[in-house]
Structure 1
Amino acid sequence: MNNIKLQLNSGIHSKGRGVGFYAENLTKALAKNPSVILACPESNQIDIVHYTYFDLFYPTLPFNKTHPTVVTIHDLTPLILPHLYPKGLKGTFNLIRQRLSLLNVSAIITDSQNSRRDLIKLFMFSPEKVFVTPLAADKIYKTTPSPISVGKIKSKFNLPEKFILTVAGGPNPNKNLPALAEATKALKIPLVVVGGGMTKELPPGKTHKELKDLVKLKSYSHIITPGFISNKELLAFYSLATLYCQPSLYEGFGLPVLEAMHAGCLLVSSNTSSLSEIYPPGTITFDPQSQDSLQNALTKAFNLTQKQRNGLVNNAKEVAKQFSWKKTAQKTIDVYTQVLSQ
């Protein structure tokens, strides 16, 4: 097959650490592959169009498609946990509209086997139409920060000697932060929440209990909230943390888990959804629906010997090497090739 002339559409609403990060890194990796030519939107020489962002409740995909079309759907979290993401009348209408816009796409790409199963079950896609291309961490997390750099960042953010780290891009109830906050409070361990996972006020129209619980956490004195920080700073946070905890009720992938594994930070993770596709066997895990299970997992991690910690960390580092943007790009190109051969 000749070079694939590709138009990428990342969508104006895909800014942010998660989906924006995906679009940016996939574009860079595809640009390095000689079998792909990235076409500008105005070009009339296009073989295939790839929408790298799809919103369940916002019109991100046109009904009329002039070329073979691939769409990335990262996850269906709001549909898996509907009690945490009430749609309302407008949301229900938009969801129907978005589902209809998917009827004539050529292929669906998603981040994990778990999300693939969800898409096939809930959207009734043909299994032959849904492909998995796992994500990868930024290359900075594969490096070791200098002690001087780590020391400066520790001082800048006034971080304690021991703390549990978690990363949450926004105030999303699937992140299960209240449960982690309660567990760390009971164990008297500082909790550092990076990102926008903690919020001082409710988003407009969002008044359900789980978001109110996030606002309540602002009063917890053991929680440190540096907000959004750079990759370089987050690498130092991973280096300084006693452990990284992913308490999520549900994840389409779980990029911070992979970052922590690369960075050599001991991982404690919930055992739900796609997360088990990332972390290796032997990882300390827990049931995110059980406060006792979460607290026991954290206690177990703190009681590890240095030899046990090193074993888990080194094993996780090896598994993390299996993920790369080069592989993600190649799997994506394989999808394009299959679509164009039909």
Structure 2
Amino acid sequence: MKPRVIGIDASRIAVPKVTGTERYAQCIVEHLLQIATPFRFRLFVRGPLELSVPAERAEFRVIPFPRLWTHVRLAAELVRHPVDLLFVPAHVLPVWCPVPGVVTVHDLGYRYEPEAHPLLQRLYLEFGTLRSVRQARRVIAISQATARDLVRFYRVPPERIAVVPHGVDRQFSPRTAEEVARVRERYGLHKPFLLHVGTLQPRKNLVRLIRAFERVAATDHELELILAGKRGWLAEPIETAIRSSPVRQRIRVLGHVVDSDLPALYSAAELFVFPSLYEGFGLPVLEAMACGIPVVTSRRGALAEIAGPAITCDPLSVEDIARAIAEARDPVHRPQLVRAGLEHAKQFTWERSAHLTLDVLAEAIGTRHADTVSSHTRREDR
């Protein structure tokens, strides 16, 4: 009997500047393909993709198209060459999907911070996500916070939602002094610094972070604030806050940092600060912990759920962000925060995420992936 075929929208993997959603898509697909399973995978991509895939488990289908790739080209491909199930790792199923679908929803932050999104983008997220979760056979939420939001805002039945947390890639670990020195030299980081990693957009709460840094910097004249991440939408207030800051010479925007430099960049930082207004998960928090630095983060959204030993703050209060930074920098508390963070981050693995995801896909396709999750859990417990 021919194996059942699961199609995967892999279009978010091969992008030049990776953000959290693209990193999730790449990691979950790579780890899914490493699992011995009776299913065969068909990866739909816009162009050639370099991905190590066992030939007996997966095939690539390159379907280039200039615009509306998901809703027109992918849908047409599924009509001509149907699969048994389509898995979309990022929010949106085709408007007309001729096969059963499973979709991953990362967050509903546009519901909490609508002013942080351009109008057209907000409308696309609103209606695209609503339609997809109603259309999908199963919905994967990356946190309990996102699962609750799906029930609250879109009335998705809880039994159709599976919570599958992100993992932390194994490259994120404390780097050697030599690696740290190379990254410091590459980016001109010659002084102690606080680090933020994420797209420069309003939801990241960077204007308040800059104001909090000004307070901390008033008593530490060497400390710098480093913002690593590409420029996002509505970034003008952030840029204005930097230009008008009395310590603007000590605030640096690195732009997009390649993945291979991130572990050493985290390891070089004195502290990771992530006071986001809302996150569906908040993977940089765990990446920073895995690299051995203390973390300050927000109590909102999924961050309170996944932050573990991080020092938390009220992201709406500049004073509380500054207070949390000072607490995390305390030399007495720092070693304890580092140890606790390293242990906490170990709980999140892409292997476990992939096994949980495969179980959801198997249920959606109408079969059982024999004890995949339980056997994997037993292996982790040993």
Deviation at 1:146, TM superposition (A): 2.6
Q: Distance in 2 between matches of 1:46 and 1:76?
A: 29
CA contact (8 A) 2:82 2:99 kept: no
Aligned residue in 1 for 2:95:
63
> C-alpha separation between the residues in 1 aligned to 2:4 and 2:341?
36
Cα distance in 2, alignment partners of residues 304 and 178 from structure 1: 27
Are positions 1:110 and 2:141 aligned together?
A: yes
Deviation at 1:101, TM superposition (A): 4.5
Query: Aligned partners of 1:162 and 1:12: how far apart in 2?
Result: 35
Residue of structure 2 equivalent to 1:26: 28
**Runs of 5+ unmatched residues, structure 1:** 55-59
8 A contact 2:286–2:345 mirrored in 1: yes
Find out whether 1:82 has 2:114 as its counterpart: yes
What are the within-5 Å matches in structure 2 for residues 265-284 of structure 1? 265-281=293-309, 283-284=310-311
- Structure 2 alignment gaps of length 5 or more: 43-58, 62-76, 218-222, 368-382
Instruction: Answer whether contact 1:245 1:268 (CA < 8 A) is retained.
Output: yes
Match of 2:171 in 1: 140
Whether 1:316 aligns to 2:341 is yes
Give the distance between the partners of 1:119 and 1:31, measured in 2 at CA: 28
Q: 2:274 aligns with which of 246, 259, 283?
A: 246
**2:358 equivalent among 326, 330, 333:** 333
Match of 2:184 among 149, 154, 164: 154
Residues 213 and 122 of structure 1: CA distance in aligned 2, closer, same or farther (over 3 Å)? same
TM-score, with length taken from structure 2: 0.77
Q: Aligned letter for 2:253?
A: T
Q: CA deviation at 1:131?
A: 1.2
Q: Is contact 1:11–1:52 with CA below 8 Å preserved after alignment?
A: no
**Which whole-Å CA distance do the structure 1 matches of 2:275 and 2:94 have between them?**
36
**Cα drift, residue 145 of structure 1:** 2.4
Compared CA separation, residues 117 and 323, structure 1 to 2 (3 A): same
The aligned counterpart of 2:130 is: 99
Q: Map Cα deviations across residues 271-294 of structure 1 (whole Å, 9 max, x no partner).
A: 11101222224x311110111111
Q: What is the CA RMSD across the aligned residues, in angstroms?
A: 2.5
Q: Say whether 1:163 aligns with 2:187.
A: no
**1:205-224 matches, cutoff 5 A:** 206=234, 211-219=235-243, 220-224=248-252
Cα displacement (A) at 1:77: 0.8
Partner Cα distance (2:122, 2:184) in 1: 43
Tell me how far apart the structure 2 counterparts of residues 336 and 226 of structure 1 sit (CA, whole Å).
Answer: 39
2:322 is matched with 295
Q: State the TM-score, normalizing by the size of structure 1.
A: 0.86
Residues in 1 aligned to 2:108 and 2:24: alpha-carbon distance in whole angstroms: 17
- Shift in CA distance, 233/104, structure 1 to aligned 2, threshold 3 Å: closer
| Counterpart-to-counterpart distance in 1, 2:13 and 2:288 | 27
Matches of 1:270 and 1:139 in 2, distance apart? 25
Q: What's the secondary structure of 1:310's corresponding residue? A: helix
| Residue number in structure 1 paired with 2:40 | 37
Task: Indicate the SS of the match to 1:83.
Answer: helix
Do the aligned partners of residues 3 and 269 (structure 1) sit closer, same or farther apart at CA in structure 2, a change above 3 Å counting? farther
Which residue, 191, 195, 201 being the options, matches 2:225? 191
Could you tell me which of 89, 109, 114 is aligned with 1:52? 89
Counterparts of 1:131 and 1:174 in 2: how far apart (Å)?
26
May I ask how many residue pairs the two structures share in their alignment?
A: 321
Asked if the contact 2:167/2:351 (under 8 Å) is kept, the reply is no
- Structure 2: how far apart are the matches of 1:13 and 1:145? 26
* Stretch deviating more after TM superposition (91-100 or 258-267): 91-100
Give the aligned residue type for 2:272: Y
SS in 1 for 2:115: coil
**Cα offset, 1:102, TM superposition:** 3.8
Distance 1:265 1:120, change over 3 A: same
Of 13, 17, 20, the residue aligned with 2:19 is 17
Percent identity over the alignment? 29
